[in-house]
Structure 1
Amino acid sequence: MARWIPSRRRHLPADGEAVPPTTRATEAAEAAPAGDAAGARLTVLRDALAGIGTTLDEPTTCAELTRAAVRLAGGTAAVLRRTGQTISGYEEITGDADVLPDVRWATAVTREASTPALDAASVPWREYAGAPRTRAALCAPLTSGEDVYGALVWARSGEPLHPGEAELLSVLAERAASHIRHARAYEQVNRTAGDLQRALLAEPGRPHPNLDIAVRYLPAGRQTVVGGDWCETVRLHFGRTLLVVGDVMGHGLEAAVDMNAYRSSLRYIASADLPPHRVLRQMDEISAREADRRPATCLLASVDPGRRQVTLASAGHLPPLLIAPDGEATLLPLPVGPPLGTGLGGYESATHPLAVGETLVLFTDGLVERRGEDIDDSLARLAAVRFPTGDGLDEVLDTILGRLDARYAEDDVAVLAARPYSR
């Protein structure tokens, strides 16, 4: 329900003065026969609602609301946003801000709607004492369920507010409130997932001192929607270190939680010092028994600097990159088994030389995959990168991320670089 304040007298436009098209449509709807008027009003409302909530971004939704309100009834519209007990000033103003009522009045109305003892829909509407006689004003709380997210504030000079317009503006406010509720829930889930992801990535394992490592993680997109990409290192016996890169399918909190489950099972299984393919086999068996666990790809690399070799095993994951001391890069071939969680097994290991000074790079598919491009072409682009001699691991990762425009990737990117050396 919206509180609306009609003007004392009706404003008649002078010759040649423009009248908002949507206002004409509303007036025409009210002047038409009952059946035609209802249909016309429904069309106006449907068109206005279609432009609200096109994204899960709260400021964008508020801007769409004020634009729709002005298209519907002319005048000026703004939003007060409520977060906790804090109410903002006017935001996302569409139209002439000088027409809006005193913000203190609108804030008081919003606080009344937010009072637990009152039903937001039945808050008594007060006339704005400072409003000129020729001005109409409306303040509609943005309510969804029992929550109040702020208010839509609308005002217009001259032309009075018709009852039908007040009803339509109130419906717009209710629709926007529903989208704001979803936007805030979406933001909270992403924040929680991000906190979980950062906590996990902030606790990497420690390799043996005969191996240098560097790790980078880049979330995809402006909204930092967290996925299930992860890296890990596990110390094994006899100076060997197990390097791991994995990618749980999907994004958000569920993917981050499943990533943590895979990472925990990896640490437990790897402590038995099994060959990489047997580690994958046991991880697959464990995850396949959990119906809600999302599938994941995973690449294991057991690095043995003493023997100058690396043993690889893949569960549906892309091959690693090997960078020679002279800067030439190649992709290491290896047998690829099914993703973890399928219960199909069938993993195999492959061993390659890994000399002191050579760099091994493990990565998730977000680094190379591009929309509409064959994966072989994507991998070839990575292998074609040439690296300056003498670069440290951080410089190597900077070169890779820069040459492949990884900061604009459509998926999360996790990269782990490792280089054996003798002390």
Structure 2
Amino acid sequence: MDALGSDAAREYRMLRQIVDGTNAGVAVLDPRLRYLYVNPSMARWTGIPAEDHIGRTLAELLPRVQRSEDVLRRVLHDGQPREQILSGSTLASSAFENRSWRSTYHRWEEDGRVLGLIGVGLEISAPRHYLRTLESAHRRLTLVDAAVARIGSTLDLDTTCAELAEFMVPGLADVATVEVSAEDAPGRARPPKGVLRLRRAGMAAVPELLDGVRDFGGPGAYIDYQAGSAIPRCMETGWPISDNLASDEELRAAAPQPERVAAYRALGIHSALVVPLLASGQAIGTVSLARAGDSPAFAPEDIRVAQALAERAALSLAKARRYTREHTMALELQRALLSEPTLPHSDLEVASRYLPSGTGALVGGDWYDTIALPGGRTLLVMGDVMGHGVEAAVAMSHCRSILRGLAGTGVDPVGILHQADHMIMTFGFDRVATCLLALVDPADGTCTYANAGHLPPALIRPTGGTLLLPVRPGPPLGTGFGGYEALARPLLRGSVILLYTDGLLERRDEDIDTSLRRLAALDLPTDAPLEAVLDTVLALLAPAPAEDDIAVLIARVRTA
């Protein structure tokens, strides 16, 4: 063999070692895209011996692998190398259910004749799986971030449940309902043993299914779930339950009641997913999702997303339940402590109103009182303990009792405030209180005011307009500073005295002086019934919803 032949043989052996030893898959195809050669790596990918490839096409060998033959034919036609991604499953075992390869195809030609194609590829299943995992995680985070903004916008449990159901449709499901633990439904007998009763607190559906799913019970309805059905199992185990493409028998066992299956089928519902709402490890309810018609069955990724959203929503729901319970307890306590004012003397008309806040976390310490005194006099009281909650309500009750006791001693309004200030500080209350007193004396036609850090009283005049009385405000009660002054004013015939707490006027985005000017601008008839006057004052001044508790007391000397 001459030197040239020897070099060619050595080069061939070297190339063969490279092709046979590389991790890349190498294949040679004829012009009809039939295999002429595959290297060992290619055979390992496919799970088919190399010799069994010869003379056959990829579609014949592996019909579940997707490849565009148009791309290969263009390479045969113009000789321009091209890349494409192949994906699917082969006969070889793999950690990936769906595998992917990136392949480059070159035209093989000799002496101007096109002999076929040479393809070289690398498996990219692992990096593509990693990328899909990252994209999936990003989608979940995006959804959860969006949920943070949209779910739990209030401390109302039903509103939060409605927001959660609406968020799930149509992104995750065609139908979504939220059920929460509940006491027995009013007017209904207790459920049979083994039956779980929940209250539906939220529901949403795509438009074409909305009317149909309303027949299953809308928000506020109590639903009984048969033993062993999906929702009781989910709440018992704390794990999601998925019923994809369920048979009628499976659906009958999973449904709240077996007779619902026909209605589900009529709506085209084929898959269901139930996710628990867990708070401190306890199931407080569930989110139920359903897909119908052409919608796909629930995938594992859907379950993970639904769980992430349910976990986020459960935090808001737990907070809403806790708020509702604490708010109710505090409000009941405050109403118990805020007993009805004593009756004024018969020559004085009064009307009062207490409105708890619509947005605050807990009730406040607002109170009012009317105390009949000797000589036909009546002491009007308006006060506000700093802070909110049960402690504020209890402190309010103490302040009110102290003022009632001091009023009976016969001291004037300034003396009452001085002694109350000292007593509250001495008793060690950890909260101060503002307080406004108005001593009405129809006999001598005067009203004497004294103020401990409160907003000024107002006088609605029969001649028109509202006057803010310049009563100098001393320190709040409980500071121990004292320094209160009285302001005596004649009682104008037919005028209405208006005492109030700051919740009537204050706005977060408004200076208090602006709020006081709005009060001073009131021009109300004073000859109407006092309840009507009070209703008008609240309608014109009270914010909706109230950002703080509101207490209002109005009084008018009766005319003969």
Q: Place the TM-score, normalised by the shorter chain, in its bin.
A: 0.7 to 0.9
SS at 1:297 equivalent: strand
CA distance, structure 2, for counterparts of residue 406 and residue 179 of structure 1: 26
Q: Indicate conservation of the 8 Å contact 1:211/1:420, yes or no.
A: yes
CA distance, structure 2, for counterparts of residue 54 and residue 376 of structure 1: 31
**Which residue, out of 400, 412, 428, partners 1:275?**
412
**Which residue, out of 279, 285, 288, partners 1:150?**
285
Query: Structure 2 matches for 1:8-23, cutoff 5 A?
Result: none
CA distance, structure 1, for counterparts of residue 543 and residue 140 of structure 2: 43
Q: Indicate conservation of the 8 Å contact 1:44/1:72, yes or no.
A: no
Give 2:203's aligned amino acid. Answer: E
Alpha carbons of structure 1 residues 109 and 306: separation in structure 2 relative to 1, 3 Å: same
Partner of 2:452: 315
Query: Structure 2 matches for 1:63-102, cutoff 5 A?
Result: 63-70=162-169, 73-84=172-183, 86-89=197-200, 91-95=202-206, 96=209
2:152 equivalent to 1:53: yes
Partner of 1:21: none
Alpha carbons of structure 1 residues 182 and 309: separation in structure 2 relative to 1, 3 Å: same
Alpha carbons of structure 1 residues 63 and 209: separation in structure 2 relative to 1, 3 Å: closer
How far apart are residue 183 of structure 1 and its match? 0.6
Q: Indicate conservation of the 8 Å contact 1:215/1:414, yes or no.
A: yes
CA distance, structure 1, for counterparts of residue 127 and residue 412 of structure 2: 80
SS at 1:164 equivalent: helix
Q: What are the Cα deviations for residues 367-420 of structure 1, in whole angstroms up to 9, with x where unaligned?
A: 233444443343233233233353332233234233435555543322211223
**C-alpha RMSD of matched pairs (Å):** 3.7
SS at 1:238 equivalent: helix
SS at 1:78 equivalent: strand
Partner of 1:24: none
SS at 1:417 equivalent: strand
Alpha carbons of structure 1 residues 110 and 268: separation in structure 2 relative to 1, 3 Å: farther
* Higher mean C-alpha deviation, range 192-201 or range 346-355: 192-201
Alpha carbons of structure 1 residues 78 and 384: separation in structure 2 relative to 1, 3 Å: closer
Partner of 2:161: 62
2:476 equivalent to 1:339: yes
Q: Tell me, which stretches of 5 or more residues in structure 2 are unaligned?
A: 1-97, 101-124, 185-196, 217-222, 252-264
Alpha carbons of structure 1 residues 275 and 139: separation in structure 2 relative to 1, 3 Å: same
Taking only the aligned residue pairs, the percentage that are identical comes to: 41
How far apart are residue 244 of structure 1 and its match? 0.5
Q: Indicate conservation of the 8 Å contact 2:395/2:429, yes or no.
A: no
CA distance, structure 1, for counterparts of residue 362 and residue 501 of structure 2: 16
SS at 1:88 equivalent: strand
Partner of 1:141: 276
How far apart are residue 48 of structure 1 and its match? 2.3
Q: Say how many residue pairs are matched.
A: 391
CA distance, structure 1, for counterparts of residue 239 and residue 526 of structure 2: 73
TM-score (norm 2): 0.61
**Which residue, out of 227, 231, 253, partners 2:364?**
227
CA distance, structure 2, for counterparts of residue 252 and residue 330 of structure 1: 33
Q: Indicate conservation of the 8 Å contact 1:67/1:77, yes or no.
A: yes
SS at 1:387 equivalent: coil
How far apart are residue 189 of structure 1 and its match? 1.9
CA distance, structure 2, for counterparts of residue 84 and residue 398 of structure 1: 36
Query: Structure 2 matches for 1:101-120, cutoff 5 A?
Result: 108-114=229-235, 119-120=236-237
Q: Indicate conservation of the 8 Å contact 1:80/1:88, yes or no.
A: yes
Give 1:92's aligned amino acid. Answer: M
Query: Structure 2 matches for 1:155-304, cutoff 5 A?
Result: 155-157=290-292, 159-221=296-358, 226-289=363-426, 293-304=430-441
Q: What are the Cα deviations for residues 325-347 of structure 1, in whole angstroms up to 9, with x where unaligned?
A: 43443222211112223333222
2:550 equivalent to 1:413: yes
CA distance, structure 1, for counterparts of residue 418 and residue 132 of structure 2: 68
Give 2:333's aligned amino acid. Answer: L
How far apart are residue 271 of structure 1 and its match? 2.7
Q: Tell me, which stretches of 5 or more residues in structure 1 are unaligned?
A: 1-26
How far apart are residue 126 of structure 1 and its match? 7.6
Q: Indicate conservation of the 8 Å contact 2:494/2:527, yes or no.
A: no
Give 1:42's aligned amino acid. Answer: A
2:509 equivalent to 1:392: no
* Higher mean C-alpha deviation, range 325-334 or range 70-79: 70-79
Greater Rg by CA: 2
CA distance, structure 1, for counterparts of residue 392 and residue 386 of structure 2: 7
How far apart are residue 134 of structure 1 and its match? 9.6
Q: Indicate conservation of the 8 Å contact 1:245/1:362, yes or no.
A: yes
2:242 equivalent to 1:121: no
